Structure 1
Amino acid sequence: MLALLRHNPLAEQPRAPADDAVVVLPGLPHRVALRRSQLLDPVKNRFQWSYDELVDDADARSYGEVFNSFPDLEPGCVDHYRAALGRRVWLVSPLAHARTDIADDDERCLRWLDGKPRGSVVYASFGTLAHFLPAEQRKLARGLQLSGKNFLWVMSCADDTDASQWMPNCFAELVAAEERGLIFRGWAPQMPILNHSAVGGFMTHCGWNSVLEAVSADMMMVTWPRYADQFYNEKLIVEVLKIGVSLGSAEYASKLEVRDHVISGETIAEAIGRVMGDDDVAKARWEKAKELGVKAKRVTDKGGSSYDDVGRLIQELMAWRSSVVHA
């Protein structure tokens, strides 16, 4: 994200490249290439770009930065950041833990999962801000239908479109008795869901908190980024960590913007099958997810990198405060 803020080709070039042009993000330890259409356009999104520039300016003037990450999640990035910018960095992640104050209505999700076989459910959730057009909801429903998998689909309160506008033929039967599928509206207890033995895959918008929670739960992902940092996060999941399968989302668009391309139900079903399959590629992906999950849990233990970084952060801030007071 910081690399893009400092070197956004859409801001630097007098004429923006074509939507399908490949843009390589500079200043990173590994190659990250995105389509121009997956980038924030400073001209179309002036307010967001101005805000991001303020963040970049604050970063440049700060004492240091605390990141919600850990070394094995972004291999090479922290050392590169320190070397390239000479900045102080503390990693204090993952901070994702299951909530204990689960409401009765939220328990409905977990009770439904209790009745499903191990690894048989695909969990689809896209955060509280993502908005799906009726055409996108229809294709998603079709993809879940074609996948043959059990599914738990959490719909944001923003997606309040009448079901008659998006529900494909025969889909109602899948969720009517909640036998193969459950549609849940509103906030759902994501960490307990991801850690439930019945869940075998997570379809996500690639929001950073969701990525951290999935990694902490040893979960493989089907990626469907929408906007903000989500396309960069997808690259990390799919190409660097190799614990996910991309749906091929190619358009940066917030909930206020309309997407020209709608991902097909067949594409969605295929991606679910690749993540939850039993072939050698799927098994290798699963092993990587489990290995990363173990590392995520260790960093917050005593002697782990995040545990040590929190202590180092407190000590350095106390020393800095003391130097300011006695200056």
Structure 2
Amino acid sequence: MTNFSPEQMRELARGLDLSGKNFVWVIAKGSTAASSDPSTPEANRGYIIQGWAPQVLILNHPAIGGFVTHCGWNSTLEAVSAGVPMVTWPRYADQFYNEKLVVEVLGVGVGVGAEDYASCLETHRVIAGEAIAESIRRVMGEEGDGMAMRKKAKELGLMARGAVEKGGSSYDDVEQLMEELIARRSSVGCTADGQR
């Protein structure tokens, strides 16, 4: 979740429209995005959800070909696990590092060109609709970068899902941690309800 100025919201809507791609756009309740204006992009090929949306469910739908994300760690992990390439738009803190991981290390994303740390106390440049549309088209493209990113994202998704299945590395690590915690609890004489 991130907050944009009304001007940036208009440019995001314009970018979605210029991309020529179908989309689901989740915006905060009460946002000034033009959700009721019949000329907005959702009237043609998009769907706007105001308020909370089931992000993991959406990302795992086979029709989803890309994800515009602020690069929060949870959103990044959810997209990788779903095997979905990303259009990255970091705003704060670790999000810029997460963007570098997604774009430069993993090779499953394209940045919109965000360079400014977002702050309500400072003005920062607005990302133009054309830049947003170009990043979306690169991720969704049927050749070159787009195909390579989608292939790599699918491979990473399979690896991530395999890690949490029985016998996977994460599954085994959590199981080992639980066994160690149970053993430590037993060694200090605690009962099941935590009493000594």
TM-score (norm 1): 0.54
SS at match of 1:222: strand
Match 2:15 to one of 137, 143, 159: 143
Q: C-alpha separation between the residues in 1 aligned to 2:70 and 2:28?
A: 12
In the TM superposition, residue 163 of structure 1 has moved relative to its aligned partner by 3.4
Aligned twin of 1:203 = 68
In the TM superposition, residue 281 of structure 1 has moved relative to its aligned partner by 2.0
TM-score (norm 2): 0.88
Q: C-alpha separation between the residues in 2 aligned to 1:325 and 1:258?
A: 56
Please list every run of 5 or more consecutive structure 2 residues that lacks an aligned counterpart in the other structure: 191-196
SS at match of 1:183: strand
Matched, 1:298 2:162: yes
SS at match of 1:314: helix
Aligned twin of 1:163 = 34
In the TM superposition, residue 291 of structure 1 has moved relative to its aligned partner by 0.5
Letter in 2 for 1:132: F
Aligned twin of 1:185 = 50
SS at match of 1:271: helix
Q: 5 Å matches for 1:264-279?
A: 264-279=128-143
Whether the aligned pair in 2 keeps the contact of 1:194 and 1:219 (CA below 8 Å) is yes
Q: C-alpha separation between the residues in 2 aligned to 1:281 and 1:150?
A: 19
In the TM superposition, residue 270 of structure 1 has moved relative to its aligned partner by 0.4
SS at match of 1:289: helix
In the TM superposition, residue 191 of structure 1 has moved relative to its aligned partner by 1.6
Q: C-alpha separation between the residues in 1 aligned to 2:122 and 2:132?
A: 20
Please list every run of 5 or more consecutive structure 1 residues that lacks an aligned counterpart in the other structure: 1-126
Whether the aligned pair in 2 keeps the contact of 1:251 and 1:259 (CA below 8 Å) is no
In the TM superposition, residue 324 of structure 1 has moved relative to its aligned partner by 4.6
Q: Structure 1 222/259 Cα, relative in aligned 2: closer, same or farther at 3 Å?
A: farther
Q: C-alpha separation between the residues in 1 aligned to 2:92 and 2:51?
A: 21
Letter in 2 for 1:287: K
Q: Structure 1 261/311 Cα, relative in aligned 2: closer, same or farther at 3 Å?
A: same
SS at match of 1:199: coil
Match 2:180 to one of 316, 321, 324: 316
Whether the aligned pair in 2 keeps the contact of 1:145 and 1:171 (CA below 8 Å) is no
Letter in 2 for 1:245: V
Whether the aligned pair in 2 keeps the contact of 1:274 and 1:282 (CA below 8 Å) is yes
Match 1:217 to one of 74, 82, 86: 82
Letter in 2 for 1:311: E
Aligned twin of 2:194 = none
SS at match of 1:299: helix
Superposed CA RMSD in Å reads 2.2
Q: C-alpha separation between the residues in 2 aligned to 1:257 and 1:232?
A: 22
Whether the aligned pair in 1 keeps the contact of 2:10 and 2:33 (CA below 8 Å) is no
In the TM superposition, residue 214 of structure 1 has moved relative to its aligned partner by 0.8
Whether the aligned pair in 2 keeps the contact of 1:147 and 1:273 (CA below 8 Å) is yes
